[in-house]
Structure 1
Amino acid sequence: MLMHDEQVDPRAQRRSGGHSTTPVPADLATSPFRVDRDRVASSPFFARLAGVTQVVSSTGSGLLVHNRLTHSLKVAQAARAIAERLSARPELVSVLDKLGGCDPDVVEAAALAHDLGHPPFGHLGEQVLDRLARHRFGLSDGFEGNAQSFRIITTTDVRGPAALGLDLTVAVRAATLKYPWTRLAFPTPHPRDLAAPPRGAAEPPDAPGTGSSKFSAYVTELPDVLGAREFFAGRLEPWQQTVEASVMDTADDIAYAIHDLEDFHRVGVLQHATVSAELGTWLDQALELASLDAADLRAQERRPGRSLEMLRRRLHAKDSWAVDDEAFAAAVAKVRAELVDGLLAVPFDGSVEAEQAVAGFSSRWTRRLVDAVGVIEEPSTRSGHVVLAPRQWHEVQVLKFVHRRFVLLRPDLALHQRGQARLLTALVEALEQWVTDRHEANRLPRRLHDLVELAGDEYAELARTEPSALVGATGDVPSGPDAVRALARGRAVVDFIASLTDNQAAALLEALSGRTGQLWTDAFVL
């Protein structure tokens, strides 16, 4: 039994203000951070990730590929391993304590939660919903998957004790803030105005004035950000990740760099000849390519080696604090030896030998990268406190390059994604029409109805206390209750669509468009 408030770990304080030691019948664990991990894993938002695209849909590939759920599990596995290694190093104990702590349960919970807000169709869905949220609905925040994840755990998930978020602890909420700022205003000064903005804080070069390209909270959740970050004031800069968030972020990079390459080797997309030509040409002609001016390099972009040289130059421009040409060349050679001349040398045919080759590649690289993580007490603004060793950092950049150059930029994937973008756009339009139809107000899907009411309360409060936070794409402050209600309806539609799986989104549009005669379906729950 608690005798004094000061005995309570401030990192374990819950969003509701209650003590983490207060028992809740539904919780099985005794550790407050383990409770948080269990609450995230039990959330329906977590379960839906099995039906959300990582890069391509498993139903479209014909083979088993990662989805957002399996990705989150692998990030959690790597994050916990990193936290355990760091916590076990005696020379880091005082540093980690000074910076606010590094608990394996906290980083595991945050890793499981980090993708809860990803909408149908992965990053493509994120871009479409952001465009529609800003330009169709006038929402200053638009849409961002990380901010949506934070909104889920603090606000829209109803499986917590009070049916408002999951009532997680301070440490876990702070650890989910990969980009601990809002799009436009918080903190002051905003990190996008720093000489070298943190990763994600800069504005998109093709969209000046729109705010940070990445951020982890909407204005509606700003009080939750302040509550989660209060413990870390004086330990970290307002725009810096907590150590636990930095662990999660690093683990996300590791998992992404490895398992997507596995997937596209399995489905035959990563071809030995093209990847080998790119890496081999750059290694053979590095000095010649380095001497090309930028215009000539862009003109020759489709020729082998040129895209890799462009990556080297981008790293110098953005991450001069970390990039080293010798380490970059060593990383290219390492990836060529292990990925090109190793894994890709023999096409995947589903045999035991092929499965073991994939498993061996994955385990070797995951262990190599996890073992190379360290802590910097005073990092660059472009880095968190938790970093990969220089050699491994360069290797991750090259692995991610291979994925982007030979998978994400494929025309056939772009064709597929354009269809998904049209689907989401049509779904937003159809649901907006339904929400604004006063004759059908009492027949809205109950979940959508509840989200409209929730957002209505939030935006009415913002209009009363901080109307400048509601300035949209036009630059005008919404005037009158009708304008504020329109913003709330837009946020509710976006919240609703972001909570669907790929198949649910497609099935819902089929029903709304009248193209299906099936009345009862398990494809979506209304």
Structure 2
Amino acid sequence: IGGFEGNAQTLRLLTRLEPKVIRADGTPAGLNLTRASLDAACKYPWTAPDAPVIHGHRTSKFGAYEDDLPVFNWLRQGAPAGRSCLEAQVMDLADDISYSVHDVEDAIVAGHFQLKWMDNPDHRARVVGYTQQWYLPHSDPAAVDAALARLEATDVWVREADGSRKAMAALKNMTSQLIGRFCLSALETTRGIYGTDPLTRYAAEMVVPEDTVTEIAVMKGLATTYVMTSVHRQPIYERQREVLSSLVQQIAAAGDRHLEPMFAADWRQADDDDTRLRVVIDQVASLTDASALALHERVVGPVPALW
């Protein structure tokens, strides 16, 4: 039925699943946002079949399911094909910056690694390798290493955090200062090109210097190396996939029996099995970790203790 994609699900939430406004015919209008607001939330302004080919590979990211094409076409009316508006570019960069910096802080606080480990050539090579593999596949390893060195040279870099309040304060300061460093770089570069004119919708592009792009990627690479790809996390990720898959299968097989009232109503109004399956996925996608586990225990059975 077109798979699942978090960004496409966001559009679905904003325009139909989150109940705030109901049309005269009884169908939901979601939060009833403006075209500009929805366009600003559209990080990947294309459907899966129209996804662009980047470096020889078609990207798996997309911003709308086929089922949501009417509202997607409306919000993209008059917009250049495949191009995100400036507000969406700002949102995308803010997302990248916040996750890249906070994931490193969280990993250090959780005891997964210390930044002083980068003194070890093997650790450093792993970080450079994962940064390239996951985020900058066509970059020069020397450029990635140089970006890491620039970050290490800042006076806010916390080489070792011992869990004390002083160390935690230093980590918070590092996070704040790096966020400022990355944001200011993009702001000054973009303004340097476009001047002081209003920069809205399609009047400009967000310009992020290559050095800053690489530094952000290095921060992501640090978290990837010591959290995302760590051996002890893989069984947990696999169990999470099993829980979600079994939930979808069992709920779909039971009709509307296990669906919440709103989703049950959508299920009964659906015209075919594909639409009904999408309704089941809508409910599962709305769950928190805790509610997913509780529903799994009720519908399928207890989740083994590995979780």
CA contact (8 A) 2:16 2:29 kept: yes
**Residue 308 of structure 1: CA displacement?**
1.5
Is 1:154 the counterpart of 2:15? The answer is yes
Match for residue 72 of structure 2 among 225, 234, 248 = 225
Larger Rg: 1
Query: Number of aligned pairs?
Result: 286
- Using the alignment, how far apart are the partners of 1:394 and 1:421 within structure 2? 31
What SS is found at the alignment partner of 2:207? strand
Match for residue 227 of structure 2 among 402, 407, 410 = 407
CA contact (8 A) 2:39 2:75 kept: yes
**Residue 355 of structure 1: CA displacement?**
2.3
What TM-score does the superposition give when structure 2 sets the normalisation length?
0.82
State the partner residue of 1:180: 45
What TM-score does the superposition give when structure 1 sets the normalisation length?
0.50
Give the unaligned 5+ runs of structure 1.
1-138, 185-189, 204-211, 282-301, 378-383, 436-440, 461-484, 517-526
- Using the alignment, how far apart are the partners of 2:44 and 2:6 within structure 1? 11
Match for residue 176 of structure 2 among 360, 363, 377 = 363
State the partner residue of 1:521: none
* Aligned CA distance change for structure 1 residues 219 and 443 (closer, same or farther; 3 Å): closer
User: Where do 1:86-235 residues align within 5 Å?
Assistant: 139=1, 141-160=2-21, 162=23, 163-184=28-49, 190-193=50-53, 202-203=57-58, 212-232=59-79
- Using the alignment, how far apart are the partners of 1:224 and 1:410 within structure 2? 40
For 1:243, give the aligned amino acid: L
* Aligned CA distance change for structure 1 residues 267 and 404 (closer, same or farther; 3 Å): same
**Residue 161 of structure 1: CA displacement?**
5.2
State the partner residue of 1:372: 185
For 2:31, give the aligned amino acid: L
State the partner residue of 1:80: none
**Residue 176 of structure 1: CA displacement?**
1.1
- Using the alignment, how far apart are the partners of 1:421 and 1:310 within structure 2? 23
* Aligned CA distance change for structure 1 residues 270 and 325 (closer, same or farther; 3 Å): closer
**Residue 443 of structure 1: CA displacement?**
7.6
Is 1:263 the counterpart of 2:110? The answer is no
State the partner residue of 1:331: 147
**Residue 420 of structure 1: CA displacement?**
1.4
What SS is found at the alignment partner of 1:387? coil
- Using the alignment, how far apart are the partners of 1:406 and 1:442 within structure 2? 42
* Aligned CA distance change for structure 1 residues 231 and 452 (closer, same or farther; 3 Å): same
* Aligned CA distance change for structure 1 residues 310 and 249 (closer, same or farther; 3 Å): closer
CA contact (8 A) 2:39 2:76 kept: yes
* Aligned CA distance change for structure 1 residues 434 and 363 (closer, same or farther; 3 Å): same
Match for residue 352 of structure 1 among 165, 186, 196 = 165
For 2:167, give the aligned amino acid: A
* Aligned CA distance change for structure 1 residues 399 and 238 (closer, same or farther; 3 Å): same
Is 1:240 the counterpart of 2:83? The answer is yes
For 2:64, give the aligned amino acid: A
- Using the alignment, how far apart are the partners of 2:78 and 2:70 within structure 1? 14
CA RMSD of aligned residues (A): 2.9
* Aligned CA distance change for structure 1 residues 305 and 444 (closer, same or farther; 3 Å): closer
* Aligned CA distance change for structure 1 residues 513 and 191 (closer, same or farther; 3 Å): closer
State the partner residue of 2:198: none
**Residue 413 of structure 1: CA displacement?**
1.1
CA contact (8 A) 1:332 1:395 kept: yes
Give the unaligned 5+ runs of structure 2.
195-203
- Using the alignment, how far apart are the partners of 1:401 and 1:442 within structure 2? 44
State the partner residue of 2:267: 452
- Using the alignment, how far apart are the partners of 1:245 and 1:486 within structure 2? 34
User: Where do 1:462-501 residues align within 5 Å?
Assistant: 485-501=272-288
* Aligned CA distance change for structure 1 residues 316 and 432 (closer, same or farther; 3 Å): closer
**Residue 196 of structure 1: CA displacement?**
5.0
What SS is found at the alignment partner of 2:63? coil
Map Cα deviations across residues 280-310 of structure 1 (whole Å, 9 max, x no partner).
Answer: x3xxxxxxxxxxxxxxxxxxxx775255157
- Using the alignment, how far apart are the partners of 2:135 and 2:258 within structure 1? 53
What SS is found at the alignment partner of 1:158? coil
For 1:217, give the aligned amino acid: A
CA contact (8 A) 1:270 1:344 kept: no
